[in-house]
């Protein structure tokens, strides 16, 4: 094994350059941004139309962004939900729509054979530009959404996550649940959805991502077709800045579960943060490296306290959360929290060792090609690059950016972005009697 490893080390220091497929970028006549990557080998394409229409945009009507995205396939143009579903499914296309905090996305996976492809694209165009939002559909989907919210309350993990975002962001639009609450969704009217759609699903606020086996000309035509019926509209204003919690706080929610779910964190980093790569590599060592990380080792491997123990930065338009989490038997909560706290504090104060950093770099750089070895993953990367205005050569420079990270840069970045005395802690479970 030793000789094999030293050979590999040599390979690592002169990595074979794996160029990602180049991203072509243009703008439609109405001002929508288009990002296209040509991939070969399979007669298929993944398409996303992404709107700046996530829950960050919904003011006090929590849940309206999600309900709007859900309702697109419930009726559009002359079609009811059944006809829409049949139009996609009879050509083997897979359609979905969803919203997150920052975005709302409409996605299509289809074969590229002309009649099938054109039928699927045409259906998608109508859904995006002429949704009906009929009363009956609205009421049904609203009721389903309310049922989903009740089911959310069955899950200690979900309850912990909701409390966590609230603790980190307070009244900032990142602080409220993306799917709303029972009270806010109950209060929604069909006109709220119509109004949200009208102001947010506009060309100036839309981005088209195409990854697959099309020619550039076909991609241009497809992008134009998809958004041509959208009014130009106006782009959304900037998202408000995030204010960090000023002091460490702990909140416990009593829950009838056998485990206590623990979340510790703080608003951490945003997509265009110059410190992003330092934090990314640093977190890989701390808790992001799957079966190899400090948290995994301390909590699970050494002590058997939890099945999963990990940490992550979730970069968004504004600083998204840094989250460290575990779940443990209720009566072990104090011990597990202590282990997590000690591991975090030690890491933030002292940073990684050089050996840890080298191992992390080998993993991230060596596994680079696996990040987007499917059409779908590549499409997600391209959507991220487009939405967050990252450089088009982001993937080409990724390995180099990772290689430039140092022990000192990680240590500095963690001290700055993850201040120990401001961390928020949420526990959800049955407290020990």
Partner 1 sequence: MKHRILLTVLLSLPVLTSHAEPAVVEAILDNGLKVIVKEDHRSPVVVSQVWYKVGSSYEPEGITGISHMLEHMMFKGTDKHPAGEFSRIIAENGGDENAFTGQDYTAYFQTLAADKLAVSFDLEADRMRNLHLLPEELKKELEVVTEERRMRTDDNPQAKMAEHFATMAFSNSPYKHPIIGWPDDIASYQVDDLIAWYQRWYAPNNATLVVVGDIKTAEVMALAKQYFADLKPSVLKPLKPQVDIAQLGQRKMVVKVPAQLPSVLLGYKVPSLNTATTEQDAYALEVLAGVLDGGNSARLSKSLVRGQQLAVAASAGYSLTSRLANLFELDATPAEGKTVWELETALKQEVFTLQKQLISAEELQRIKAQVLASAVYERDSGFYQAMQLGMLETIGLGWQKADEYVTKINSVTAEQVREVARKYLREDQLSIAYLEPQPMNSAHSTKPARPL
Name the minimum Å distance from CB 20 to partner 1.
Answer: 10
Q: The tokens 């011990």 sit on which residue?
A: 335
Given 25, 304, 334, 431, the residue binding partner 1 (CB under 8 A):
304
Taking the CA atoms of residue 141, residue 142, residue 144 and residue 145 in that order, the dihedral angle to the nearest 10 degrees is 120
Total chain residues near partner 1 (CB under 8 A) = 86
Among the residue ranges 53-61, 216-224, 292-300, 414-422, the one whose residues contact partner 1 (CB under 8 A):
292-300
Q: Which of 330, 331, 287, 289 is nearest to 309 (CA)?
A: 287
Task: Find the binding residues for partner 1 in span 210-229 (CB under 8 A).
Answer: none
Helices 354-366 and 394-404 pack at an angle, to 10 degrees, of 160
| Cα–Cα distance, 205 to 208 (Å, whole number) | 10
Question: What is the contact mask toward partner 1 in residues 108 to 137, using x (rule: CB under 8 A)?
Answer: -xxxxx-xx--x------------------
Given 33, 179, 184, 327, the residue binding partner 1 (CB under 8 A):
327
Taking the CA atoms of residue 30, residue 35, residue 39 and residue 45 in that order, the dihedral angle to the nearest 10 degrees is -50
Among the residue ranges 194-202, 239-247, 253-261, 337-345, the one whose residues contact partner 1 (CB under 8 A):
253-261
Question: What is the contact mask toward partner 1 in residues 46 to 85, using x (rule: CB under 8 A)?
Answer: ---------------------------x-------xx-xx
- Cβ atoms of 385 and 218 within 8 Å: the answer is no
CB closer to partner 1, 57 vs 87:
87
| Cα–Cα distance, 321 to 132 (Å, whole number) | 36
Regarding beta strands 75-76 and 309-313, do their DSSP bridges make them parallel or antiparallel, or are they unpaired?
A: unpaired
Residue 281 found at the interface with partner 1 (CB under 8 A): no
Name the minimum Å distance from CB 239 to partner 1.
Answer: 29
Residue 257 found at the interface with partner 1 (CB under 8 A): yes
Residue 144 found at the interface with partner 1 (CB under 8 A): yes
Name the minimum Å distance from CB 5 to partner 1.
Answer: 8
Name the minimum Å distance from CB 53 to partner 1.
Answer: 22
Q: Which of 194, 223, 188 is nearest to 206 (CA)?
A: 223
- Cβ atoms of 34 and 27 within 8 Å: the answer is yes
- Cβ atoms of 84 and 122 within 8 Å: the answer is no
Among the residue ranges 49-57, 140-148, 167-175, 383-391, the one whose residues contact partner 1 (CB under 8 A):
140-148
Residue 305 found at the interface with partner 1 (CB under 8 A): yes
CB closer to partner 1, 33 vs 48:
48
CB closer to partner 1, 148 vs 419:
148
User: CA distances (Å), 290 to each of 324, 369, 417, in order?
Assistant: 13, 17, 22
């Amino acid at each position: 094994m030793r000789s094999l490893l030293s050979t590999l080390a040599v390979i690592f220091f002169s990595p074979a350059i794996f160029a990602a497929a180049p991203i072509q970028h243009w703008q439609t006549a109405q001002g929508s941004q288009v990002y296209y990557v040509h991939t070969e080998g399979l007669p298929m394409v993944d398409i996303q139309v992404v709107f700046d229409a996530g829950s960050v945009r919904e003011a006090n009507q929590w849940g309206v962004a999600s309900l709007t995205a859900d309702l697109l396939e419930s009726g559009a143009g002359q079609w009811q939900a059944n006809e829409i579903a049949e139009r996609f499914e009879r050509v083997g296309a897979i359609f979905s729509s969803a919203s997150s905090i920052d975005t709302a996305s409409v996605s299509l996976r289809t074969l590229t054979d002309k009649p099938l492809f054109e039928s699927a694209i045409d259906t998608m165009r109508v859904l995006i530009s002429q949704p009906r939002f009929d009363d009956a559909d609205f009421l049904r989907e609203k009721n389903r959404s309310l049922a989903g919210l009740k089911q959310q309350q069955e899950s200690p993990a979900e309850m912990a996550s909701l409390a966590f975002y609230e603790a980190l962001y307070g009244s900032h639009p990142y602080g409220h649940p993306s799917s709303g609450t029972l009270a806010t969704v109950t209060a929604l009217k069909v006109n709220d959805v119509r109004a949200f759609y009208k102001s947010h699903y506009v060309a100036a606020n839309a981005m088209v991502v195409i990854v697959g086996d099309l020619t550039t000309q076909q991609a241009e035509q497809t992008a134009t077709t998809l958004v041509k019926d959208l009014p130009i509209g106006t782009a959304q204003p900037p998202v408000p800045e995030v204010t960090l919690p000023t002091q460490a706080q702990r909140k416990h929610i009593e829950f009838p579960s056998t485990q206590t779910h623990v979340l510790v964190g703080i608003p951490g980093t945003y997509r265009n943060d110059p410190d992003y790569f330092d934090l990314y590599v640093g977190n890989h060592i701390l808790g992001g490296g799957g079966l190899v990380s400090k948290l995994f080792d301390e909590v699970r491997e050494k002590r058997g306290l939890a099945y999963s123990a990990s940490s992550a930065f979730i970069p968004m338009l504004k600083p998204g959360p840094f989250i460290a989490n575990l779940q443990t038997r209720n009566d072990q909560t104090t011990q597990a929290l202590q282990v997590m706290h000690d591991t975090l504090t030690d890491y933030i104060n002292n940073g990684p060792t050089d050996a840890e950093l080298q191992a992390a770099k080998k993993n991230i750089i060596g596994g680079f090609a696996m990040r987007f070895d499917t059409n779908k993953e590549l499409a997600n990367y391209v959507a991220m690059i487009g939405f967050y205005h990252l450089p088009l050569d982001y993937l080409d420079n990724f390995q180099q950016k990772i290689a430039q990270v140092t022990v000192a840069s990680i240590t500095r970045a963690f001290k700055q972005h993850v201040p120990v005395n401001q961390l928020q802690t949420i526990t959800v479970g049955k407290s020990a009697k």
